[in-house]
Structure 1
Amino acid sequence: MWNRAETEINMTLIRHGATKANLEHRYLGKTEEALSEEGKEELQMRKDNGMYATPNHLFVSPMLRCRETATILFPNLPFQCIPEWTEMDFGLFEGKNYKDLNGNPEYQAWIDSGGMLPFPKGESREAFQKRVVFGFFRMLSCLEKEKASEKDKITAVVHGGTIMALLSALSGGEYFDYQVKCSDGYRCRLRCSDKIISILELEKLC
């Protein structure tokens, strides 16, 4: 765990580039899928435009689409995987989009709940947030072992759901307020202790 009484970190959260399923607006959770050619091209274009600063420490979800994104953006930088940062398990909705699910009573019930119900045979938002926050403390532990400085820049290449879960948990805000498109993300300054993380500054990358 993070052993310092209190420190601040500068962190960038990047959602991975687009896959075919993302472009088709499908629920893509535990399914492994490579980036689409369009997704790769968009990442490269944004990289060439200086959107992504090279960090001192790079962390990723272990899923293929995040590892591919990290390799495109920071090809010479090693990264560490945080297993708790895999995307939410969408259960019976996995691989489907709103057209496929139109008329499905379980899907309608989930919509009517404002996304608060657990996904059928999948994960609940509460459980997802807990594991994502646990992953954040795992990252802090890695930084402590590496004797990271407060001046160091930290980047995490993760999923849209991971970003929403982490930022809403840390801020106490609404989950969907932190939704971002593929290749987008946030820059944030965080105050960290061994038990409490608070957001001091937050801005979108684009």
Structure 2
Amino acid sequence: MKIILIRHGMTEGNLKRRYIGTTDEDLINTDCLKGDYPKCERVVVSPLKRCIQTAEFIYPNVDIEICDKLKECDFGDFENKSYEDLKDNPDYQKWLDSNGELPFPNGETHEDFKNRCKDGFFESLTERDTAFVIHGGSIMAIMQKLFGGNFYDYQVKNGCGYEFEMRNGEIVDDYSPIGCS
């Protein structure tokens, strides 16, 4: 089966470079969604509006299934704030110094987030070609689990992602980038 992972389109928070996890923002435009995306038989999304709207734009004729476990990380006290907002916050500096491994104050731990996304991904698999229209962090968590390497190696721009083949829950071939030129 073909697996397609696509990061949602651009939101106001993305444009302003804020940590947007649990904040339920609308898309501000679809300019980054103009690429050719692989065809699929099913679409699985995070329940947040930005993912649903992106899926409806890219795959207007495919039914959407929602998976709560594929939501973006809960950034806790850092939610909806930018680097500029947080640069003098000692908790933020500690988090940066940990390479993002410390838990977000009043939010989710990095490990809990990655495990939740991994579980949501594997629970959503069938033998049908599936597009997952989700969040950047969720994509990074899934890709790291499947392909190894550093979590941050798999960062993607809005509207971009990866495509690969799986059979019986196992990777068949290496991944290819999609959606961005």
Whether these two folds match at TM > 0.5 is yes
| Residue from 19, 28, 34 that aligns with 1:27 | 19
Unaligned runs of at least 5 residues, structure 1: 1-8
Structure 1 partner of 2:31: 41
| Residue from 165, 181, 187 that aligns with 2:141 | 165
Q: Which amino acid aligns with 2:28?
A: S
SS in structure 2 at match of 1:180: coil
Aligned CA-pair RMSD: 1.4
2:177 is the alignment partner of 1:201: no
Contact 1:82 1:138 in 2 (8 A): no
Q: Offset at 1:199? A: 6.4
| Residue from 180, 189, 193 that aligns with 2:156 | 180
SS in structure 2 at match of 1:201: coil
Structure 1 partner of 2:123: 138
Deviation per CA, 1:163-191: give whole Å up to 9, x if none.
Answer: 00111122232100000011010011234
Q: Which amino acid aligns with 1:27?
A: Y
Deviation per CA, 1:105-128: give whole Å up to 9, x if none.
Answer: 111111111111111111111101
Contact 2:6 2:162 in 1 (8 A): yes
Structure 1 distance, partners of 2:173, 2:112, is: 25
Contact 2:44 2:67 in 1 (8 A): yes
Q: Which amino acid aligns with 1:154?
A: T
Q: Offset at 1:42? A: 2.6
Q: Offset at 1:25? A: 0.4
Structure 2 distance, partners of 1:198, 1:122, is: 32
| Residue from 154, 160, 181 that aligns with 2:130 | 154
Q: Which amino acid aligns with 2:151?
A: Y
Contact 2:32 2:158 in 1 (8 A): no
Structure 1 distance, partners of 2:39, 2:53, is: 16
Structure 2 distance, partners of 1:74, 1:93, is: 32
Structure 1 distance, partners of 2:7, 2:32, is: 12
Q: How many residues align?
A: 179
SS in structure 1 at match of 2:44: strand
Deviation per CA, 1:30-59: give whole Å up to 9, x if none.
Answer: 01000003xx2332x32xxxx212211111
Q: TM-score, normalised by structure 2?
A: 0.93
Structure 1 distance, partners of 2:114, 2:38, is: 27
SS in structure 2 at match of 1:53: coil
Contact 1:170 1:199 in 2 (8 A): no
Structure 2 partner of 1:128: 113
Q: Offset at 1:135? A: 0.6
Unaligned runs of at least 5 residues, structure 2: none
Q: TM-score, normalised by structure 1?
A: 0.82
2:47 is the alignment partner of 1:17: no
Q: Offset at 1:192? A: 3.6
